[in-house]
Copies of this chain bind each other. A is one copy, B any other.
Amino acid sequence: MARYSPSLQNLISRLGKLPGVGGRSSQRLAFHILSMKQDEADALVNAITEARKLTRRCAVCQNFTDSDPCPICSDPKRDKTTLCVVESPRDVSAFERMHEYNGLYHVLHGVYNPVGNMNMNDITLTELFARLTEHDEIKEVIVATNQTAEGNATALYISRLLAPSGIKVTRLASGLPMGSDIEFADDITLASALKGRKTIGS
């Protein structure tokens, strides 16, 4: 005998396909959804359908947006000579939260990962190079992919392809996080901090 009614079982299994939602939490979410007030449930369903309908990629920077070009690309106050290349829209959000960067962005929607099923054509490199060719005001490309093997490989690939263009390609500094203990640093981070050491006062 089925443990739950077919429609409830279907909801549980659909929720269980979401990332980070295991067996127990899919049941908990399903029961919560059943017990929601009608307007709350409608709001949830509408949020899903509206976000999927309205959200598209900005034709310029490829970030998720409701308006194309996105508010950042169409903001005349942004510095149009600097371009920060990131893996995901969440990274743009992290940069914006910091309030220290005023340039433009380019969202790759992934990184080069030869072992995964993602290759160079799945990420928005073509759009990046087209953008750099068309807009010669960009003087610096900051490659802010994650400090992972894939992120580093993608950064290297971009820097090599841009080498002939004369555009300055930089990478975010790697090293010890602020406030961290050397004792607990992993070997690779410590080695990278040593290699990137700087003269005090410079």
Which residues does A use to contact B, with CB under 8 Å?
1-8, 10-11, 14-15, 17-21, 25, 27-34, 36, 40-41, 43-45, 47-55, 64-67, 70-72, 75, 88-90, 93, 96-97
Q: How far, in whole Å, are A4 and B31 apart by their CA atoms in the complex?
A: 29
Residues in B whose Cβ lies below 8 Å from that of A29:
18-21
Closest to A58 in B: B5
Q: Which residues of B contact A52 (CB under 8 A)?
A: 33-34, 36, 41
A66-B5 contact in complex given A43-B14, A45-B49, C-beta closer than 8 Å: yes
Determine how many copies of this chain the complex contains. Answer: 2
A3-B97, A49-B45, A66-B6 known; A88-B19 Cβ under 8 A: no
Pairwise interchain contact B8-A19, C-beta atoms closer than 8 A: no
- Cβ contact of A4, chosen from B11, B41, B44, B64, cutoff 8 A: B64
Chain B residues contacting A21 (CB-CB under 8 Å) are 29
**Bound form: Cα–Cα A2–B123 in Å:** 25
**Do B8 and A51 have beta carbons less than 8 Å apart?**
yes
Q: Which residues of B contact A6 (CB under 8 A)?
A: 54, 66
Q: How far is the CB of A108 from chain B (nearest CB, A)?
A: 14
- Bound form: Cα–Cα A6–B27 in Å: 29
